[in-house]
């Protein structure tokens, strides 16, 4: 029985077995997923051609990240207000147990097509920019409010350089809801191009037991600190980071009273490791796909269809 159920689990989610492995194993899985999911692949590429790109922005593959001033790619004041109010309401349930970074998923039950979070997350300019960067229409998987505060002890977990494991490429979109200066533990990133140099230098692996977290000195011996970029700005600033292709850390908050509040949106490709390979995925926001007058690329971001 045990063998049968684990074989079933493996068949259903082979990507989950690979996502914490080597760079090579992950790349091999991704190539297979793109072939097996050829229908989705064709559809998501076709969705790119219908995109309105009059207000396009570009994230270069060699960079893998960019920051934008208040209201430059999409209006943010509603998201900043909603996330700040939700945070202050004290009703949010935290996930995980990190002390330096407290993450609160925005409750899906409370979301509707016209909520500030969804209007921002599915903004046509934002979505098409992410789609162009991926080369495929994106899927929205996560909306949350994150608070960082100073924590005692030496740096650990997200305070140390790492690459995220969920996909071969992904985009986290951070909307700053408070001022982010050097004191507030800014997200600090290395370009995708320099990140490859680091990965080769440290023989990076996504396995937690191996070299998943990399210390500053090892990173600095491959890429000097002058090429580490701390992403700072006033509330309403938007930072887009491919947290898989770019080494990053954050939440090194100095000053007991400083804290950093951000709304966070995560987009992956249809080939992410967490999705079943041979079956349809059930997606967190798919229930919202039938509730609004969404365009094809917006509906795809919610439902994968």
Ligand X SMILES: O=C(O)CCC(=O)C(=O)O
Which parts of this chain interact with Fe ion (CB under 5 A)? 164, 243
Residue nearest Fe ion, CB atom distance: 164
C-beta closer to ligand X: residue 48 or 155 = 155
C-beta closer to ligand X: residue 104 or 294 = 104
The partner in contact with residue 26, picked from Fe ion, ligand X, none with C-beta cut-offs of 5 to 8 angstroms by kind, is none
C-beta closer to Fe ion: residue 158 or 258 = 158
The contact set with ligand X (CB under 6 A) reads 101, 148, 158, 164, 172, 187, 243, 248-251
d(CA 32, CA 15): 10
What's the min distance (Å) between Cβ of 247 and ligand X? 10
What's the min distance (Å) between Cβ of 172 and ligand X? 5
C-beta closer to Fe ion: residue 63 or 164 = 164
C-beta closer to ligand X: residue 248 or 299 = 248
- Residue showing tokens 């309401």: 89
d(CA 26, CA 32): 10
The partner in contact with residue 147, picked from ligand X, Fe ion, none with C-beta cut-offs of 5 to 8 angstroms by kind, is none
What's the min distance (Å) between Cβ of 58 and Fe ion? 23
What's the min distance (Å) between Cβ of 149 and Fe ion? 17
The partner in contact with residue 187, picked from Fe ion, ligand X, none with C-beta cut-offs of 5 to 8 angstroms by kind, is ligand X
Residue nearest ligand X, CB atom distance: 250
C-beta closer to ligand X: residue 247 or 300 = 247
The partner in contact with residue 271, picked from ligand X, Fe ion, none with C-beta cut-offs of 5 to 8 angstroms by kind, is none
What's the min distance (Å) between Cβ of 215 and Fe ion? 16
Question: Which residues does residue 70 pair with via DSSP β-bridges, in sequence order?
Answer: none
The partner in contact with residue 65, picked from Fe ion, ligand X, none with C-beta cut-offs of 5 to 8 angstroms by kind, is none
The partner in contact with residue 101, picked from Fe ion, ligand X, none with C-beta cut-offs of 5 to 8 angstroms by kind, is ligand X
C-beta closer to ligand X: residue 231 or 302 = 231
What's the min distance (Å) between Cβ of 73 and Fe ion? 22
Q: Tell me how many helices (H) and strands (E) the chain has.
A: 10, 9
What's the min distance (Å) between Cβ of 97 and ligand X? 14
Q: What is the DSSP string of the chain?
A: -HHHHHHHHHHH-HHHHHTTSBHHHHHHHHHHHHHHTHHHHHHHHHHHHT---TT-----TTT-EEEE-TTSSS--HHHHHHHHHHHHHT-PPPBS--SSEEEEEPPGGG--TTSHHHHHHT-HHHHHHHHHHHTS--EEEEEEEEEEE--SSS--GGGSBB---SSSSEEEEEEESS-B-TTB--EEE--HHHHHHHHHHHT-B--TTTTSSB-HHHHHTTS-GGG-EEE-BSTT-EEEE-TTTS-EE---B-STT-EEEEEEEEEE-TT-TTS-SSSPPP-TTGGGTTTS---HHHHHHHH--
């Amino acid at each position: 029985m045990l063998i049968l159920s684990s074989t079933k689990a493996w068949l259903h989610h082979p990507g989950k077995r690979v996502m914490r492995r080597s760079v090579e194993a992950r790349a091999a899985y991704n190539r297979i997923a793109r072939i097996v999911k050829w229908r989705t692949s064709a559809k998501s590429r076709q969705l790119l051609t219908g995109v309105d790109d009059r207000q396009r922005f570009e994230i270069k593959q060699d960079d893998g990240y960019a920051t934008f001033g208040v209201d430059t790619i999409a209006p943010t004041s509603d998201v900043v207000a909603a996330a700040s109010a939700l945070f202050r309401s004290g009703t949010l349930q935290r996930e995980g147990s990190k002390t330096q970074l407290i993450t609160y998923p925005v409750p899906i039950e409370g979301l509707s097509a016209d909520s500030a979070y969804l209007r921002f997350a599915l903004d046509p300019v934002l979505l098409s920019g992410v789609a162009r960067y991926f080369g495929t229409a994106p899927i929205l998987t996560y909306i949350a409010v994150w608070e960082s505060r100073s924590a005692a002890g030496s740096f650990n977990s997200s305070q140390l350089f790492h690459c995220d494991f969920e996909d071969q490429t992904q985009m986290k979109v951070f909307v700053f809801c408070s001022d982010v200066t050097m004191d507030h533990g800014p997200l600090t990133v290395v370009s995708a191009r320099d990140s490859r140099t680091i990965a080769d230098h440290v023989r990076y692996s996504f396995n937690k037991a191996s070299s998943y977290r990399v210390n500053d000195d090892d990173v600095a011996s491959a890429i000097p600190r002058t090429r580490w970029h701390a992403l700072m700005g006033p509330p309403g600033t938007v930072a887009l980071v491919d947290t898989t292709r770019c080494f990053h850390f954050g939440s090194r908050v100095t000053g007991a009273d400083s804290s950093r509040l951000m709304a966070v949106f995560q987009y992956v490709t249809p080939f992410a490791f967490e999705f079943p390979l041979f079956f349809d995925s059930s997606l967190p926001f798919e229930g919202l796909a039938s509730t609004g007058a969404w365009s094809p690329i917006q509906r795809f971001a919610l439902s994968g269809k």
